Structure 1
């Protein structure tokens, strides 16, 4: 409990916002033959997220409910300590916690930058948790069963892990290399879908 209370608002907010903006993704206009399949717009995920930066690290439990263009994400520590709520719909995203108060923005990326100073392609996450690339420019590596096991998109290397013969990943590891030779790392473990 004391350990969770030491997590910085920046760290927790970063992890939360990596989950939030997914429904806000606007697909780039591509020729019809290059269009990517749509990721499902209704799902529910529960699990644990960990964030590690060169300065600090921490983890929390999450529940993410996606209903078409609206989402609701709750993040909490052990026994519900440090609860943070993120909600959104097109044009309006908000984060509310005891540590930060209410922060609002038009997009998840804008909210992430306001709350943490980070810039990340968080709108891609809805595709990544569904084992799909978010853009046609993604570099993809597949496993022996034909499932995506590695994606490289917009400066992030995403590793996907699966339980046995499942088609959707139960673990994602996102890494962003920094100029200092260090990295930002986000680990997302999906326990329930």
Structure 2
């Protein structure tokens, strides 16, 4: 029972924090202009996320709404079981579920560290979901259509997959190599943008 509870907490926190780090994604426009580039961050995503570590694995469905720097993420299991609510605004991120109660931190990275013990560049997901590296030190590879298909950055290898001619990925696999040929793996499938 304790391991199941730990797994649930780790999955919820990791999932939540991956998304809560994404406070600055701009929904792509067909013809970008200066005026459009200055519009506030507004988007809604739905999909599924899975987390696998050497000790545990699990998955959840997500619904994520972003309004400028504020976000609201709901994670749940099949048929809405095990609902977890994550909300954030600049300087405050909260996670609330029946299993964990309320956890508050000043950043997504701090909340992830408190809840799971993981150190991860959560805010990089902002760029990765947009098929862009987050820093100038990243190494990237492109596919035949010129889209970024791999990003190596801050100890993580991110593989991006696309549907047909889409310019934004519908699947991301984030891998962090660990000792003894083990890894942390996060799989994010975006079903609706």
TM interval, shorter chain, is 0.7 to 0.9
Greater shift in the superposed pair: 12-21 or 98-107: 12-21
- Segments of structure 2 that go 5 or more residues without pairing to the other structure are 26-36
Which residue does the alignment assign to 1:19?
Answer: 19
| Matched position secondary structure for 1:113 | helix
Deviation at 1:135, TM superposition (A): 0.9
Runs of 4+, deviation exceeding 3 Å: 4-7
Deviation at 1:54, TM superposition (A): 0.3
Deviations 1:14-46 (A, max 9, x none): 122111112279xxxxxxxxxxx99x8221110
**Distance between the aligned counterparts of 2:55 and 2:94, measured in 1?**
26
**Distance between the aligned counterparts of 1:41 and 1:142, measured in 2?**
26
Which residue does the alignment assign to 2:130?
Answer: 130
**Distance between the aligned counterparts of 2:59 and 2:185, measured in 1?**
12
Deviation at 1:119, TM superposition (A): 0.7
**Distance between the aligned counterparts of 2:150 and 2:21, measured in 1?**
21
C-alpha contact (below 8 Å) 1:24/1:107 kept by paired residues:
no
Which residue does the alignment assign to 1:32?
Answer: none
Which residue does the alignment assign to 1:169?
Answer: 169
**Distance between the aligned counterparts of 2:130 and 2:41, measured in 1?**
10
Which residue does the alignment assign to 2:98?
Answer: 98
Structure 1 length-normalised TM: 0.87
Which residue does the alignment assign to 1:148?
Answer: 148
C-alpha contact (below 8 Å) 1:24/1:108 kept by paired residues:
no
Structure 2 length-normalised TM: 0.87
**Distance between the aligned counterparts of 2:171 and 2:97, measured in 1?**
26
Q: Within 5 Å, which residues of 2 pair with 1:110-121?
A: 110-121=110-121
Deviation at 1:67, TM superposition (A): 1.1
Deviations 1:60-83 (A, max 9, x none): 000111111111111000000000
Q: Specify whether residues 111 and 24 from structure 1 end up closer, same or farther in structure 2 by C-alpha distance, changes over 3 A only.
A: farther
Which residue does the alignment assign to 1:69?
Answer: 69
Deviation at 1:7, TM superposition (A): 4.1
- Segments of structure 1 that go 5 or more residues without pairing to the other structure are 26-36
Which residue does the alignment assign to 1:43?
Answer: 43
C-alpha contact (below 8 Å) 2:96/2:102 kept by paired residues:
yes
**Distance between the aligned counterparts of 2:85 and 2:111, measured in 1?**
13
Q: Specify whether residues 180 and 138 from structure 1 end up closer, same or farther in structure 2 by C-alpha distance, changes over 3 A only.
A: same
Which residue does the alignment assign to 2:29?
Answer: none
| Matched position secondary structure for 2:179 | coil
| Matched position secondary structure for 1:79 | helix
Deviation at 1:123, TM superposition (A): 0.3
C-alpha contact (below 8 Å) 2:5/2:99 kept by paired residues:
no
